Structure 1
Amino acid sequence: MAFSGQGAVGITYFILYAISLGFTLYNLSKHGIHKVGYANRRRPWSWVSLYCVTRFIGVLFSVDVARDLNHQTSASVFDFFYIVSFLFLIVAVYEFIQQWCTFAYKAHLINNPIIAADPAKIPMTRARQVLPYVFWPWCAVTFILMIAGNSFGKMSQGYKNEVLSPQLHTVSFLYLPIIIIPYVILYVSGRTFQAPKGYPYLSLLPMLPMLLMKVAYVIVSSFSYMVNPLSPTNNPAYTGLLGLLLEFCVLVLIQIRGLAMAPLKEILPETDEERGIKKPKPKAKVRSSETTRTKSNEIKMIKIEARRLNSGMTQASGSSTTSTDEITVVDEKGQETLEGPTNADGTHISLMDIATHKVERPESHSKPKARIPMIELA
């Protein structure tokens, strides 16, 4: 295997992206090849896996693994695969932003019992509504400028010992906003929607090295050219070596999903059904058959005695009242009165005493009598 003039830098690229490819293969074996890309859009690490694969293929050509190809051919192949890998990467960043905005907003609404009980009621955040109309046009314009300036491949990989022109470096600064804006959105969404303490920063940390790499990559190489255009240190492969290591750290963090993605169930509390806890059904009060039978007998006895008492009273008073649900007591003038039957000593007789045969039913009702409502012992 003959490596190109970059020597240690080329070997470093090869080793790091070989490890990244290992993480990618592990990711694919765990989640399945059918879950890559738009078949499962809610998994940004699938897009990162595609990024790793295409970037690794490009690295193979950049270090002249194919010895039968001349240097210019391998450089062109690298440019192609690096461009494709960049497309996968920006899609992954877009998906990360979308999910992060959603998670941050859902985390903010945990304290709302209605929302926590039914996450489907969570409205779409404003950041997520605006995101497609800002992110994709910016990507398109920037990408076209990169291709037009012919600086994309040369600035991303130092496979040539050429000195980049100031005009190309000027074009390269145009794509800095496309790198910075996603992180600004991440930070603002975390502060605006008040995600749980520490969560927005943990979610942001794995992405920060990528930002530092891209910024340092362009600025250092540009200033090195301004200071000494003929210095070998202006080669982006050397000036961006630290950024390369940081980028590898980002790929590892995203692949193992340690901090970059927090599952929704870790943010919203699980319901009892998700935990497998079944709510016990309320137990109905069960009365013993003996108790029920006793109460039923008592009610029947009271109704029977009430009918007898009412019949005797109406016959004694000459009233034609035939109600069987209540006892109507009338006075000597035939008008209903509130006073009930009394004993010889003047004490009132209760309906319960009559029903339970504790006292005998009065024979005469010469004294004022009252209407006594029927007692229901339900």
Structure 2
Amino acid sequence: MSVPFLRTPEHRAELAAEADRLLEFAAHSVHPDGGFGWLGDDGALLLERPVELWVTCRMTHVAALGLLMGHVACAELVDVGVAALTGRLRDAEHGGWFASVGPDGPVKTDKESYGHAFVLLAASSALAAGRPGAQELLTDAIEVHDAHFWDAAEGLVVDVWNRDWTELEPYRGVNANMHTVEAFLAVADVTGDAAYRERAARITTRVLGWAAGNGWRIPEHFDPEWHPVPDYNRDSPAHPFRPFGATIGHALEWSRLALHVDAGLVASAQALFDGAVADGWAADGADGFVYTTDWEGRPVVRQRLHWVVAEGLAAAAALYSVTEDDRCSDLYAQWWEYARTHLIDLEHGSWRHELDEHNAPASTVWEGKPDVYHAFQAVLVPRLPITPTFAAAVRDGFLEQVR
């Protein structure tokens, strides 16, 4: 019996080399004022852009993984992130974290659930890596999240508060809940508190229910009572965080996350995966995943974003580990070849974040290469078991302990 591509020693070596390359690229994003800045297509730091909370958190998480994998230079990068999250990005007056900061202080003072989920993730990974200040950061992040974002009655998180926590935006969204699932699983793994795994399961159950009732196309946007708003952002369909319609990459990401929550959810994970592949891959004739479709599965935004392919690779690898279905392995091999041909930038580093419908470099949705989180996780998933989550798994010696 032949070994599937994603399990071959040659590909495992390729994944390890790509992880090293991505960590080298990430090291250039340290901002002179603190935190991690936005990198351009050529890998240069764009100092005119503010430091974003989500970018700093994601880079801190990746650096912690790098340290756990034996890259000792990543210790300094983790400490840069922890310092920014306990310093310039934190709101010392009202608590929580600013969405972005510039040379003169906060640029965007909203308290976003999306960014706060990544604070939980970054703090969890830094704690797993044993970095100073990580435990205090995680304790703070948990207290803020529990006080302001977790809605126990709904089993979901709310989205955006103003700076002093007195006004809650009426919008509710699945994107923030998706990353909160990831964060809650990480918190559970590093603290041993099973309540956060139970919360992750509650969120996942709600989202899978919505998807199952909608042809496995996930409703993304909701009103305050959690009624879907299917026309949300119809006039701004390429929004980087709240696009109109069904987001192909999120279906793939939820497919993997459902397995991390409970491998018994394989049927739902497979349905999400199959639907995303049918609607999104080469939907307009050219290879690559389209960004979004309408509710009948027709392409809306045809840009090819790197994170969608990364999540496709991760989902295919996760499903293969549970099902050993050759189709998942074959799709993984096809998509890795696509990434190697079109996305992996050997000249300037990292992965090209956006291509147009002809697979030429573009910047309609994303400018530059702001972080390596999706690509880095994509090169780890095939080398790890389904549980525990990334940092705990690497810490506990499970890297490459996959059949």
**TM-score after normalising by structure 2:** 0.28
Higher relative contact order (CA 8 A, sep 6+): 2
Q: Which has the higher Rg, Structure 1 or Structure 2?
A: 1
Higher helix proportion (structure 1 or 2): 1
More strand by share: 2
TM-score (structure 1 length as normaliser): 0.29
